[in-house]
Structure 1
Amino acid sequence: MIILVHENNKVVALLNAGLEPMDVSLDKHIATALIAVAKQFPETLIIWCHKAFVNSLNTDLLHYIFHHKRILASYNPSELNYLPNQIGYVDREFYLKINKTVSYPTWVTSSNIGGVNSSVINSLVNQLNPKVSFDYFLISLAKRAMVNGLFCYSEPKLLKTNTSVLIETPKASTSDLFLFVKQHYKWVWVFFLSMCYFVYEKKIVLFPLLKSLFFKRLSQDLNLEGVVVESTKLILEKKAIDVIIPTIGRKEYLYDVLKDLASQTLLPKNVIIVEQNTLSGSVSELFYLKTEDWPFTIKHTFTHQPGVVNARNIALSEVQSEWVFFADDDIRFDKYLLEHSFKTINQFGISILNYLCLLPNQKQVFFRLQQTSIFGSGCSLVKREALKATVFNSAFEFGFGEDSDFGMQLRNKGYDVIFVPHIKITHLKAPIGGYRTIIKQRWADDAIQPKPSPTIQLLYQTYFTDHQLLGYKLLLGLRSYKHSAIKNPMTYIKHFNKQWQRSQFWSHQLN
Structure 2
Amino acid sequence: MPFRFLLYLQPVRYFSVPRANGNYIYPKAESIPENILEKLATSSKYTSKLATEYDLSWQAIHIGFVKGATFYNTFEKLPIKDEYVFLRSYFRPIWSLYVLLIRLVSFKNPFAEIGAFFYAQDVKKQQLTNNAIERGAFENFESKLVGNNPLVSVIIPTLNRYEYLKDVLKDLEKQTYTHFEVIVVDQSDDFSEGFYAPFNLKINLVYQEEKALWLARNTAIEVSKGEFLLFFDDDSRVETNWIFQHLKCLDYFNAEGSSGVSLSTVGAKVPENYSFFRIADQLDTGNVLLKKDVFRKIGLYDRQFEKQRMGDGEFGMRMYKHGFTNISNPRASRLHLKVGTGGLRHMGSWDAFRTQKLFAPRPIPSVLYFYRRYFGKKRSWFALLKTIPPSIVPYRFKKSRKLKLLGIFVSIFLLPIIGVQVLISWRKATQKLKQGPQIRALN
TM range (shorter): 0.7 to 0.9
TM-score (norm 2): 0.78
Could you tell me which amino acid in structure 2 is paired with residue 99 of structure 1? R
SS in 2 for 1:95: helix
**Equivalent position amino acid for 2:322 in 1:** K
2:172 maps to 261
Which residue matches 1:384?
A: 292
Deviations 1:320-365 (A, max 9, x none): 2121110111222232222233333332222211122223436222
Aligned to 2:36: 120
Q: Is the 8 A contact 2:28 2:57 kept in 1?
A: no
Distance 1:415 1:438 in 2: 31
From 177, 200, 205, the counterpart of 1:294:
200
Unaligned runs of 5+ in 1: 1-80, 159-165
Structure-1 residue corresponding to 2:282? 374
Aligned mate of 1:144, from 59, 65, 85: 59
For the Cα contact (< 8 Å) 1:448–1:498, is it kept in 2?
Answer: yes
Please state how far the C-alpha of 1:201 moved relative to its aligned partner: 4.4
Of Structure 1 and Structure 2, which has the larger fraction of its residues in strand? 1
Q: Deviations over 1:153-211 (max 9, x none)?
A: 9967x9xxxxxxx9x96431222212221222111122111222233345422222222
CA distance in structure 2 between the aligned counterparts of 1:502 and 1:434, rounded to whole angstroms: 25
User: How far has the Cα of 1:394 moved from its partner?
Assistant: 1.7
Post-superposition offset of 1:264: 1.9
Q: Could you tell me how far apart the structure 2 residues matched to 1:94 and 1:435 are?
A: 25
CA contact (8 A) 1:243 1:270 kept: yes
What is residue 84 of structure 2 aligned with on the other side?
A: 178
> Per-residue CA shift, 1:201-257, capped at 9, x if unaligned?
454222222222232223424424457557999977652201111011222332332
Which shifted more, 323-332 or 333-342? 333-342
The aligned counterpart of 1:460 is 371
Q: What is aligned with 2:268?
A: 363
- The answer to whether the aligner puts 1:474 opposite 2:370 as a matched pair is no
Q: Aligned residues, how many?
A: 406
Maintained 8 Å contact 2:40/2:59: no
Match for residue 21 of structure 2 among 93, 101, 108:
101
Q: Which residue identity does 1:137 align to in structure 2?
A: T
Distance 1:361 1:260, change over 3 A: closer
Asked whether the 8 Å contact 1:100–1:155 carries over to 2, the reply is no
SS in structure 1 of the partner of residue 37 of structure 2: helix
Distance, in Å, in 1 between the alignment partners of 2:211 and 2:300 is 17
How far off is 1:376 after superposition?
1.2
The 8 Å contact of residues 368 and 429 in structure 2, kept in 1 or not, is answered as yes
Deviations 1:58-112 (A, max 9, x none): xxxxxxxxxxxxxxxxxxxxxxx6533x4301225321022241776x34x546x
Q: Report the AA paired with residue 97 of structure 1.
A: V
Residue aligning to 2:163: 252
Contact 1:183-1:215 within 8 A present in 2 as well: yes
TM-score, structure 1 normalization:
0.69
Equivalent residue in structure 2 for 1:500, among 415, 422, 430: 422
What's the counterpart of residue 116 of structure 2? 208
For residues 344 and 192 of structure 2, the distance between their equivalents in structure 1, rounded to whole angstroms, comes to: 12
1:87 aligns to 2:3 (yes or no): no
CA–CA separation in structure 2 for the residues paired with 1:89 and 1:426: 32
Does the aligned pair in 2 maintain the 1:458–1:508 contact within 8 Å? yes
In 2: Cα distance, 1:333 partner to 1:447 partner: 38
User: Residue type of the partner of 1:146?
Assistant: I
Match of 2:221 in 1: 316
497-506 vs 466-475, greater mean Cα deviation: 466-475
Give 1:119 deviation, angstroms. 1.4
**Between 245-254 and 225-234, the greater mean CA deviation after superposition:** 225-234
Q: Letter of the aligned partner of 2:364 in structure 1?
A: S
Q: Does the CA-based 8 Å contact 2:261-2:332 persist in structure 1?
A: yes
Q: CA 1:141–1:475 in structure 2 vs 1: closer, same or farther (change >3 Å)?
A: same
**Matched letter for residue 95 of structure 2:** W
Is the 1:242–1:268 Cα contact (8 Å) retained in structure 2? no
Partner of 1:336: 241
Task: Tell me if the contact between 1:128 and 1:141 (Cα under 8 Å) persists in the aligned partners.
Answer: no
Show structure 2 runs of 5+ residues with no match.
393-404, 434-443
Please point out which of 317, 327, 330 is paired with 1:421: 330
Name the CA shift for 1:402/1:130 in 2 (closer, same or farther; >3 Å): same
Q: CA RMSD in A?
A: 3.8
Larger Cα-atom Rg: 1
> Residue 439 of structure 2 aligns with which residue?
none
